[in-house]
């Protein structure tokens, strides 16, 4: 069967309910070759848990092994570079936070352009960031916090899971919008930054729902705001930054997406998107989201995801320029 015949068979399969995901796989993915999903963060984190859930579902549908490999380092660019250089046959993918392709290219020096070397496949979740505060701070709301910082300059330090990350930019945006100046202390990851907050070594941190909200429930932190457009169903008592008068902080909301090498054929990307969308819509997958604080994804085609990623990249480029942030600063 030649390539054109394969394409026609695959397209017919996509619109024919009688075809299974396994039949699609045989039509396009290399035979007897496992799929590899690279995760640019350590095992056990939110991205890793999502990747393993997606891998399990894909393996069940496609009847092929799907292996998750953790490749942490350099804000996700080590894994991204490896995927960009991989054979574009659909067997090497990356599941990462959207910032790998949207924010990080503008904040650290990298040797490749994600937009020209990676291809969007599917979105698997959305994630807001929350502003957590140490309970020792007298202010218990964001407006009161801003007023307190203005009255006590130099007394507040916020941590992040790395310079140039969304957590870092949460503080930079708040500084700009509120007319304040906080000290920034970058850490090697979210875990060390959160522990510094709990220990009182820093006063604030912008971080994800998990494990920050666990510290709130334990009385070790306060949640002052969320970057999502609407209140999170997992934390309905926490107001959004828009409600509090700081809509610009919605920029630090993120998403989790799957990417492939840029030259991966369209029919393979379509197959992968269809399979991943089916997994992401399953009850088994959705049951995992609340404990992670991840919101269900809006269904997107690869083309829609690509347009979304490119817009996010352009928006971050403008914001980085507006805040006069210099890579490596």
Residue 146 sits in a domain of what CATH number? 3.40.190.10
241 lies in the same domain as 276: no
Residue 159 has pLDDT above 90, yes or no: yes
Among candidate residues 215, 230, 252, the one where a domain is terminated: 252
Query: Would you state the pLDDT for residue 263?
Result: 98
Are 183 and 234 members of one domain?
yes
Tell me the average pLDDT of the chain.
91
Return the structure tokens found at 60: 């069940």
Sign of CA dihedral 45, 233, 58, 256: negative
Residue 329: inside a domain: no
Q: What is the pLDDT of residues 183-195, one digit of tens each?
A: 999 998 888 999 9
The whole domain housing 181 covers 130-252
- Backbone region of residue 200 per phi and psi (left: phi > 0; alpha: psi in -120 to 50; beta: other values): left
> Same domain, yes or no, for 181 and 278?
no
Final residue in a domain of this structure, among 229, 252, 275:
252
Residue 312 within a domain: yes
CATH number for the domain including 71? 3.40.190.150
Total domains in the chain come to: 2
pLDDT digits (tens, 9 = 90+) for 261-320: 999 999 999 999 999 999 999 999 999 999 999 999 989 999 999 999 999 999 999 999
Q: What does the pLDDT read at residue 215?
A: 97
Identify whether residues 241 and 282 lie together within a single domain: no
Structural domain contains residue 243: yes
What digits encode the pLDDT tens for the residues 117-133?
999 999 999 999 999 99
Examine the domain organization and report whether 119 and 176 are in the same domain.
Answer: no
Q: Please report whether residue 272 resides in a domain.
A: yes
Judge whether 328 lies within some domain: no
Is the residue at 63 inside a domain? yes
Q: Quick one: 247 and 140 in the same domain?
A: yes
Please tell me the pTM assigned to this model: 0.88
Q: Are residues 10 and 24 in the same domain?
A: yes
Are residue 158 and residue 10 in the same domain, yes or no?
A: no
Same domain as 81, residue 51 = yes
Residue 327 lies in a domain: no
- H, E, C per residue of the chain: CCHHHHHHHHHHHHHCCCCCHHHHHHHHCCCCCCEEEEECCCCCCHHHHHHHHHHHHHHHHHCCCEEEEECCCHHHHHHHHHHHHCCCCCCEEEEEECHHHHCHHHCCCCCCCHHHHEEEEEEEEEECCEEEECCCCCCCCHHHHHHHHHHCCCCCEEEECCCCCHHHHHHHHHHHHHCCCCEEEECCCHHHHHHHHHCCCCCEEEECHHHHHHHHHCCCCEEEEECCCCCCCCCCCCCECCCCCCHHHHHHCEEEEEEEECCCCHHHHHHHHHHHHHHHCCHHHHCCHHHHCCECCCCCCHHHHHHHHHHHHHHHHHHHHHCCCCCCC
Domain end among 224, 252, 280: 252
Instruction: Identify whether residues 258 and 119 lie together within a single domain.
Output: yes
What was the pLDDT predicted at 22? Answer: 56
Based on the fold, state whether residues 194 and 168 are members of the same structural domain.
yes
Is residue 34 included in any domain, yes or no? yes
Q: pLDDT by residue (tens digit) across 48-90?
A: 999 999 999 999 999 999 999 999 888 788 999 999 999 999 9
- Dump pLDDT digits (tens) for 7-57: 344 445 444 444 455 555 555 788 779 999 999 988 888 999 999 999 999
Pair 30, 114 in one domain: yes
């Amino acid at each position: 069967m030649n390539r054109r015949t394969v394409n026609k068979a695959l397209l017919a399969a996509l619109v024919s309910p009688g075809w299974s995901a396994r039949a699609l796989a045989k039509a396009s993915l290399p035979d007897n070759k496992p799929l590899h999903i690279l995760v640019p963060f350590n095992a056990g984190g939110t991205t890793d848990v999502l990747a393993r859930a997606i891998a399990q579902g894909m393996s069940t549908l496609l009847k092929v092994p799907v292996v998750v490999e953790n490749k942490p380092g350099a804000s996700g660019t080590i894994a991204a570079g490896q995927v960009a250089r991989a054979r574009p046959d659909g067997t090497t993918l990356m599941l990462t936070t959207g910032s790998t392709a949207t924010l990080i290219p503008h904040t650290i020096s990298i040797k490749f352009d994600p937009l020209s070397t990676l291809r969007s496949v599917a979105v698997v979740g959305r994630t807001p960031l929350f502003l957590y505060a140490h309970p020792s701070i007298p202010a218990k709301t964001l407006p009161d916090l801003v007023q307190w910082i203005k009255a006590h300059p130099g007394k507040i330090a916020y941590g992040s899971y790395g310079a140039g990350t969304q957590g870092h930019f949460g503080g930079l945006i708040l500084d700009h919008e509120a007319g304040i100046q906080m000290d920034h202390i970058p850490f090697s990851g979210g875990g060390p930054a959160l522990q510094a907050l709990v220990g009182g070594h820093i006063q604030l941190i912008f971080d994800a729902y998990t494990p920050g909200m666990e510290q709130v429930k334990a009385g070790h932190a306060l949640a002052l705001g969320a970057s999502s457009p609407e209140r999170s169903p997992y934390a309905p008592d926490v107001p959004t930054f828009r409600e509090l008068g700081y809509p610009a902080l919605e920029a630090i909301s993120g998403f989790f997406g799957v990417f492939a090498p840029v030259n991966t054929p369209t029919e393979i990307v379509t197959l992968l998107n269809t399979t991943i969308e089916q997994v992401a819509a399953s009850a088994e997958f959705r049951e995992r989201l609340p404990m992670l604080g991840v919101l269900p994804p809006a269904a997107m085609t690869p083309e829609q995801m690509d347009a979304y990623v490119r817009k996010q990249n352009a928006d971050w480029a403008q914001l980085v320029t507006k805040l006069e942030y210099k890579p490596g600063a």
